[in-house]
Chain A
Amino acid sequence: MSSIETTGHDSAHSSFDTKPIWRTFWILLGITLVELTLATIHMKTEWPSKYVLNGIYLILTCAKAFYIIAEFMHLRHEIKNMIMTIAVPACLFIWFIIAFLWDGASYNQLRNRYDRHYAEKVQAPKEVPAEKPGKPE
């Protein structure tokens, strides 16, 4: 097997200079800091609503994942066929996430619909006394 050649891998170090590495590092650090800033603003002011904030988090997380895979793991610099054998199966995640979160939400709805205790609690929230402490200290 060792006789099968790969071109431009052992000899050329053209694509491996350290500048893009540090650029990627600053991008990752920057994105993380943005996430933390948003989380802190939300804690203090409740301003970006939790749903908007979660959407932003997910987009930023995917951006970070892209930079780690593309630059740190060097996938962006491989040949296209190779990239596709990784990227195409990973598309299964799109179905995977949507299907299972949808299923969870629908289970929740079904259970709430037939749970008498829950229905009463939602209809008359005042009648349920605050018996539970907020959080243990």
Chain B
Amino acid sequence: MAQAVPAGQKWWSGGKSPFNVEYGKLMMWYFLMSDSFTFGAFLISYGSIRFATNGWPNPNEVFRAFPGFGETNLPLVFVSLMTFILIMSSVTMVLAVAAGHNGDQKKVTFYMILTILGGLAFLSCQAWEWTHLRVDEGAWWGVNPFHNADGTKATTNFTNFFFTITGFHGFHVFSGVVINVIMLIKNLRGDFVRRGHYLMIEKAGLYWHFVDLVWVFVFTCFYLL
């Protein structure tokens, strides 16, 4: 549950952080909130357009390929793998944060490396999926080779939204990996040991979990609904 607060604690009388978090971490939270509205606007405009359109392609027919299996019909399998990779890298990130709390520099290094590898694996999966859609299926911004589920011709909104939103999410993953690499380097240099705390790891962690959080919604909106 929420942190236990001593009765009569005067948070707002000055001298201490009223929210009991460090300044940078609080600002990270507010940044993430604004970012969630950016993603929210994207996904809701996608929903709005989808509600305003009579037909829509069936995601199970569009996303059915798996690397190395050629022309197959494996809906949801590849995207499940991507989801699993991202959840897993979120776990290693929390483990890195927990190790930071215990002041264990070696463990932080270990888990940060795992998190970075998870992020790179996710990006590779996405690169493969985009290449497959672009090269094998001929889908791109403004080009939609897929027909609606009822067989009628679909608008290009489907591919436009798909590439824009997964692209925006993928860019977040990419910047998350860059941030994590910087944190790893700073940890290896011993910056956090000198500082006496690993709050920077926590802030990078918040960002990384946010990326996972957004993927949960992207996964539902594009692959399930």
CB of B29 within 8 A of CB of A86, answer yes
CB of A80 within 8 A of CB of B2, answer yes
Most A CB contacts (10 A, CB to CB) among B1, B5, B15, B90 go to: B90
Please, which residue of chain A has its CB at the minimum distance from the CB of B152? Answer: A132
Residues of B within 8 A of A101 (CB): 44, 47-48, 51
**Interface size, B (range):** 35 or more
Residues of A within 8 A of B5 (CB): 79-80
Q: B188 at interface (Cβ–Cβ under 8 A)?
A: no
Please, which residue of chain A has its CB at the minimum distance from the CB of B57? Answer: A135
Interface digits, A88-113 against B, CB 8 Å rule (1 contact, 0 not)? 01101100110011011101100110
**Interface size, A (range):** 35 or more
Residues of B within 8 A of A57 (CB): 220, 224-225
CB of B98 within 8 A of CB of A97, answer no
CB of A82 within 8 A of CB of B21, answer yes
Residues of B within 8 A of A5 (CB): 15-17
Measured between alpha carbons, how far is A124 from B142 in the docked complex, in Å?
A: 31
With both chains docked as a complex, state the minimum distance between the C-beta of A129 and any C-beta of chain B, in angstroms: 11
Residues of B within 8 A of A107 (CB): 51-52
CB of A90 within 8 A of CB of B33, answer yes
Interface digits, A34-70 against B, CB 8 Å rule (1 contact, 0 not)? 0110011001000000000010011001001100110
Q: B95 at interface (Cβ–Cβ under 8 A)?
A: yes
Measured between alpha carbons, how far is A1 from B90 in the docked complex, in Å?
A: 31
CB of A134 within 8 A of CB of B147, answer yes
